Amino acid sequence: MAISDAYTQSFIQPRSALLMEMEQFAKENYVPIMQLPAIEILLQLLRIQNPKTILEIGSAICYSAIRMAETLPQAKIVTIERDDTRIEQAKQFLSRSTVKENIVLLEGDALEVDVESNYPSFDAVFIDAAKGQYKKFFEKYSPLVKKGGILYIDNMYMHGLSNLDIKEVPKRKRTMIRNLHQFAEWIIENPDYQSSFFPVGDGLLICIKR
Ligand SMILES: C[S@@+](CC[C@H](N)C(=O)[O-])C[C@H]1O[C@@H](n2cnc3c(N)ncnc32)[C@H](O)[C@@H]1O
């Protein structure tokens, strides 16, 4: 859901000049950073949870990583990105950020990179990468989440495609949407997690590890 009116917009918190520049850059360069109403909710949930260690899968230009680091100055954030162009852009923005010391950018495919040797556990994991791979990301990284820790998963609507009848989904996207449906069914029935769906932004799923 886009910000549709001045009233809704009035709840969006002011951001630093750097963050506003990143939002403009993302818009002009088609970088899919998290939508403002959804990131407001994510950040508020993180304030409540107060994690000390966060893993993010899908950094893009490090917009959400910088926002999380600014919101939780005590937290260490490890973020993974595989796209070389975005990694370079992320490094540029990070170098100008006041919270760069709290963010570690790991380069490579999140399904291949070795995170656990250096970072064996996390209080929170934020999954915001290739949508057809969500179950694989979950399987790889949920063991690193501490008991009582939380996985935050964005884009569960997949830009409005996942709540369509599958016949209405463009053919080339059907496998990805089927994978997302299977993941949604699997996680909601998974007794090891208390999961709850927030229909905000592009759909945010919150899974608390029991
Ligand atoms: C939606 S964007 C991330 C936006 C960012 N979290 C934000 O809100 O500022 C998704 C990013 O995930 C990256 N990505 C997709 N699959 C990945 C994978 N398997 N490993 C690492 N990065 C991946 C893409 O290159 C893309 O930059």
Which atom of ligand 1 is the closest one to the Cα of 63?
9
pLDDT band at 163 (very low <50, low <70, confident <90, very high): confident
pLDDT category of residue 2 using cuts at 50, 70 and 90: low
Greater model confidence, 159 or 23 = 23
At residue 1 the predicted structure's pLDDT band, cuts being 50, 70 and 90, is: very low
Q: What is the pLDDT of residue 143?
A: 97
pLDDT digits (tens, 9 = 90+) for 49-58: 999 999 999 9
> Is a pLDDT exceeding 60 seen at residue 3?
no
Q: What would the pLDDT profile of 97-133 be if each residue is shown by its tens digit?
A: 999 999 999 999 999 999 999 999 999 999 999 888 9
Rounded to the nearest angstrom, the distance between the alpha carbon of 9 and the centre of ligand 1 is 26
Neighbours of 185 (CB within 10 A): 10
Convert the chain into a string of H (helix), E (strand) and C (coil): CCCCCHHHHCCCCCCCHHHHHHHHHHHHCCCCCCCHHHHHHHHHHHHHHCCCEEEEECCCCCHHHHHHHHHCCCCEEEEEECCHHHHHHHHHHHHCCCCHHHEEEEECCCCCCCCCCCCCCEEEEEECCCHHHHHHHHHHHHHHEEEEEEEEECCCCCCCCCCCCHHHCCHHHHHHHHHHHHHHHHHHCCCCEEEEEECCCCCEEEEEEC
Give Cβ neighbours of residue 171 (< 8 Å, ≥ 6 apart).
Answer: none
Give the confidence band of 43 by pLDDT, cuts at 50, 70, 90. Answer: very high
Whether ligand 1 lies within 6 angstroms of the CB of 63 is answered as yes
pLDDT of residue 8: 83
Q: 105 CB under 6 A from ligand 1? A: no
Ligand 1 atom with minimal separation from the 32 CA: 1
* Ligand 1 centroid from CA 7, angstroms: 30
